[in-house]
Amino acid sequence: MGKYDKDRHQKEMAIRYCLARGVIPCLEVLVPSASDLSETTETLTDIDVLGLEFIGDGGFRRTIFDCKTTNKMSPINRAFWAAGLAAYTGCNDAVVILKNRAVYNHRISALQVSVDLHDDISFEDLGKTFDQEFGKDNSYQSSIDRWNAIYDVYQRNNWSESLYNLGRHAAPVTNEPWRVFRRIVAEIRSVRGQFDPVKEPHIALFLDVLSAVFLLWASLGRDIRRFYDPKMSKTDFEKALRYYIWGGKESYQIRQEIRQRAEGVSGIQEFPAWDKLVSLVGLVITAPQEVLGCIDVCRDLAIRIICGKNESHDKRLTAVFASNRRARQFVMAVVDYMIAASGIPKDFSARVQAELSDL
């Protein structure tokens, strides 16, 4: 049995609903404790499927999909539980998919706490209002089997566990994208010797991590546009960017002071591949809305490598490129930055370019 096979059918419907609406699906996102006072990370619960809807120029509307095939709790109590989970995680609303239909009063009452109660049939009907082919497997991401296949890649490469946790659990719910981005860069640097561009599963793993990086950059690009001024000097912009990426001026200065005292060196420690990062920022702020499409591109390519090509799925992927003409440019820019910042083999750039050219 695969990792995601519990409540499989409902999770698959939730993923397909997200894809039908142009929403980014995230599967089984762990919810951590608010405190970190023990040696091990404590997980409170998980979100079966989290949908991220792009709003504005980098914000997200987050919707929880709670899938339940058992009847241990009444529908309205399940709605109250989902509403509490949404409040705790900073999500906007929730959809609960139950085995049996809830009574009308429960369904109407649940809407008062921004929870929509459904059973399988009513949810499928809702999905068809957005896409008449809602129930069909028409995307690389629309099958739980393929999500399981990517998870198995991480499982077979134990050194990638932290990357999986950062990309699948931290990135979708963070309110501090700069912090998670720094951690992903640092983690790839720490395991850079494990990445082998000859091995296709490693290319797929890299692309899956890149999908999380693009998820973070959708918000990073929005924030950076708020302090970027075309009239400001390059020096002033880099200073503001430096403070932002390190979590503020005070945090940056403390890090530099600790390093200088501990290592007995002078001068500042720049963020990895700083010049390339500045160039990447310049690209992103010209069209931050184009970043979102790159999330699906990287995920689909990762699945395509592991599960094989599918002609009908390729058509959907090609349509993404047709509607987002800068997707290839953005993907390769982030690939080249991550290679420079992490020190993984440069051959990864050629391998990803080959996958893009195959479409």
Each residue's pLDDT, cut to its tens digit, for the chain (359 residues) gives 467 767 899 999 999 999 999 999 999 999 988 877 666 778 899 999 999 998 876 688 999 999 987 778 899 999 999 999 999 999 999 999 998 999 999 999 999 999 999 999 999 999 999 988 888 899 999 999 999 999 999 999 999 999 999 999 999 999 999 999 999 999 999 999 999 999 999 999 999 999 999 999 999 999 999 999 999 999 999 999 999 999 999 988 888 888 777 776 666 778 999 999 999 999 998 888 888 889 999 999 999 999 999 999 998 898 888 888 889 999 999 999 999 999 999 999 999 999 999 88
Interatomic CA distance for residues 88 and 90, integer angstroms: 6
Measured in degrees and rounded to the nearest 5, phi and psi for residue 133 equal -100, 25
SS (H, E, C) 280-344: HHHHHCCCHHHHHHHHHHHHHHHHHHHHCCCHHHHHHHHHHHHHCCCHHHHHHHHHHHHHHHHCC
Q: CB-based burial of residue 294 (10 Å sphere; 0-12 exposed, 13-18 middle, 19+ buried)? A: buried
Measured in degrees and rounded to the nearest 5, phi and psi for residue 39 equal -70, -30
pLDDT of residue 58: 66
CA dihedral for 337, 338, 343, 348, sign (positive or negative) = negative
Whether the Cβ atoms of residue 269 and residue 199 lie closer than 8 Å to each other: no
Interatomic CA distance for residues 72 and 78, integer angstroms: 9
Interatomic CA distance for residues 206 and 299, integer angstroms: 10
Please provide the DSSP assignment of 142-172 as one string. Answer: S-HHHHHHHHHHHHH-GGGHHHHHIIIIITT
Closest among 278, 317, 283, 323 to 300, alpha carbons compared: 317
Interatomic CA distance for residues 178 and 23, integer angstroms: 22
pLDDT of residue 80: 97
Interatomic CA distance for residues 200 and 189, integer angstroms: 20
Going from the N-terminus, what domains does the chain have, and what CATH number goes with each? Answer: 8-128 (3.40.1350.10), 144-357 (no CATH)
Interatomic CA distance for residues 171 and 173, integer angstroms: 6
Around Cβ 320, how many Cβ atoms within 10 Å?
15
Interatomic CA distance for residues 303 and 308, integer angstroms: 8
AA letter at 194? Q
Interatomic CA distance for residues 281 and 225, integer angstroms: 9
pLDDT of residue 321: 84
Whether the Cβ atoms of residue 94 and residue 111 lie closer than 8 Å to each other: no
